[in-house]
Structure 1
């Protein structure tokens, strides 16, 4: 029987491999994982400032500014001056960015659905329970 430390290692490696395979499924393959993470943050959290995005992604403001500049150049986001504090700039997902995120979500769901169909009903039930547990671990 594996120790808790060994189980931790196995779980970490399995989740990293799955996450890598999922990240590879995206509607615009030219985007980096960091760029798509910003689009995802804007999709889930709505309009944010550069500082908010940098804090969320745990990167420096200059690094986030480069990422946001690239996303703006590719036409996926827009920057607007904050109506209350003109020193701040709000970053928003535009229609093209929204379409890209939705297409990527759909592609990732389809990829995973195809893989799950190959499993038995019992194995899918185990994974459903594991998803609940992993989700709980991720929020601690």
Structure 2
């Protein structure tokens, strides 16, 4: 088999020295992005944008939130969040209602339809990843098990 050339899509990236923090950071960045991109492909029949799905996911995790709280959680400007909420409301995935204790404030919450959309989306992507995990050794799966909480901390910083 001929060696991959630098112009071929299968060519390997320059070797990174994983013993250095810079090399590890580079390898993690590249491979986390590739994995995230591949997982996103599994949402092939979902008409929602990634930002809309992210808002639904945030509401699923935290419950009803104000538009300002959602904007802060998603790190976007309030006018952008207002547009996203309006789009989601139009398709029946969120509703707006008065805050339980502060009638001046409006909160956004998921509809039952949104819960189904999220569950179907998660199920499809997790099934793909579970299948991929089945293709690696038990020892490699154990390494990933140990790395998962570390990656969660890195992502949350």
What TM-score does the superposition give when structure 1 sets the normalisation length? Answer: 0.90
Gaps of 5+ in 1: none
Instruction: Choose the corresponding residue for 2:148, options 131, 135, 138.
Output: 131
Q: How many pairs align?
A: 140
Post-superposition offset of 1:80: 1.1
Q: 1:39 to 1:6 in 2, by over 3 A?
A: same
CA distance in 2, matches of 1:46, 1:24: 27
Say if 2:117 is the partner of 1:68. no
1:54 paired to 2:62: no
SS at match of 2:104: coil
Across the aligned residues of Structure 1 and Structure 2, the Cα RMSD in angstroms comes to 1.7
Determine which structure has greater relative contact order: mean sequence separation of CA pairs < 8 Å that are 6+ residues apart, divided by chain length: 1
Query: The residue matched to 1:15 in structure 2 has which SS?
Result: helix
TM-score by length of 2: 0.81
Give yes or no for contact 1:81–1:88 (8 Å, CA) kept in 2: yes
Q: CA deviation at 1:28?
A: 5.1
1:94-134 CA-partner distances (Å, limit 9, x unpaired):
00001111111111110100101111111111211221321
* Shift >4 Å, 4+ stretches: none
Offset of residue 137 of structure 1: 2.7
Gaps of 5+ in 2: 1-16
